[in-house]
A and B are shown apart, each in its own frame.
Chain A
């Protein structure tokens, strides 16, 4: 599975406009690290509701850009809740790094 599903991504560009999608990527790159941090903070505070919400938001944005694997991982956390261990969050961070890099290159190109 590719980091970004290009069919989804170009569909987004087609409907919203490439220029707008470039701006939207900028917004996502600002917001996603905050949500990832919120996920860890929620886990540390043992707040299931905060954890679920942060995962839910990440899932939603991931699917918008076609980051399907990242979206699936976030969804698992959303539905699984606090049981997720630190390793699952590390894997999510790593996937995010790949998504962010791919989106930056798609935005530039």
Chain B
């Protein structure tokens, strides 16, 4: 993207610097507005939408440092890319700008070639961030999206106690053979939409979609009062939605859809994995494996929903549960106690 035609704000109290920088940017195909000090710049940023700010440090009324301090705590503006342009000397100044959230630092007089490269790189980073935020909005609850924005996509794991759910469509392969490709994708989309709705309605987060299956987490990244109960209630909602969908499908003389759901609770290692540009919230550990094995076992047990001992214990006596005894599951050395909640 050479000439992106972005909307930029130049903040510099020195008129020569301001005009020259604006000129360089206009020659590179951008639309440019100017501010003669930090206070004016901040006001303009709050009033209008800009793609990027070029910020001088030494300014009357409000310095560039103070502008950066305001931006970093402003939810609307914290993701605005900032390139500092300054002739302040000393690496300490550069370090302070970067610490305060500036994307880049260009010494004055600004080299036009370097300027172009830095601006394009910052705009590209912003585009990826916007895309990531959009993905998060699409695949997570508003709370999680907010948590992600707050934490600034900090990568890195931590141990959390959570409830993990796996679900997939039974006999999906044979359904694909019965349907055409368009119909298959349409079915998957309908299924995803319904399942997302049920899961996020109970405070869970869908963090993986694998073909005809999905994985969801309850209780992380944000704590949930009773994650196990929330997951089981979500499972109930999911089954109810599938029933409604099947009524519709029966009317269209289409085969019935069946799903399996496995739920396990315990410690997981959770965190955002990937790169700064593209990260996903993921959970790994024994609890995750167990939930996946339980989901696979639903076909054998002929029950729609299976949960582990920890989930069963967390549910308390209020929820009716059938104890199915200890079952040998793939990947588990000892047999595992399996329970089937009576949901419908």
Contact = CB atoms under 8 A, between A and B. Distances in A.
Given A24-B16, A60-B108, A60-B109, A16 B24 contact: yes
A27 B19 contact: yes
A59 interface: yes
B19 A64 contact: no
B91 to A, nearest CB: 15
B109 A63 contact: yes
Interface in A1-46: 15-17, 20, 23-24, 27-28, 31
Interface in B69-104: 87-89
B326 interface: no
Given A15-B24, A20-B23, A56-B87, A64 B58 contact: no
B87 A60 contact: yes
Contacts of B23: 16-17, 20, 24
Contact of A63 (B13, B27, B108): B108
A24 B14 contact: no
Contacts of A27: 15-16, 19
Contacts of A61: 14, 16-17
A64 B110 CA distance: 9
B16 A31 contact: yes
* Contact size range, B: 10 to 19
Interface string B8-46: 000001111101100110010000000000000000000
Interface string A48-75: 0000010011011101100000000000
Nearest to B56: A60
B112 interface: yes
A100 to B, nearest CB: 13
Of the listed residues A16, A60, A79, the one surrounded by the most CB atoms of chain B closer than 10 A to its CB is A60
Contacts of B108: 60, 63-64
A53 B58 contact: yes
A23 B18 CA distance: 13
A16 B15 contact: no
B30 to A, nearest CB: 14
Nearest to B13: A57
A15 B112 contact: yes
Nearest to B111: A15
B215 to A, nearest CB: 53
A51 to B, nearest CB: 13
B112 A64 contact: no
Closest A-B pairs by Cβ, 5 of them? A15-B112, A60-B87, A64-B109, A61-B16, A28-B16
25 contacts: A15-B24, A15-B112, A16-B24, A16-B27, A17-B27, A23-B19, A24-B19, A24-B20, A27-B15, A27-B16, A31-B15, A53-B58, A56-B87, A57-B13, A57-B58, A60-B14, A60-B17, A60-B87, A60-B108, A60-B109, A61-B14, A61-B16, A63-B87, A63-B109, A64-B108
Given A24-B19, A57-B13, A60-B14, 14 more contacts: A15-B24, A15-B112, A16-B23, A23-B19, A27-B19, A31-B15, A56-B58, A56-B88, A57-B14, A57-B58, A60-B109, A63-B87, A64-B16, A64-B20
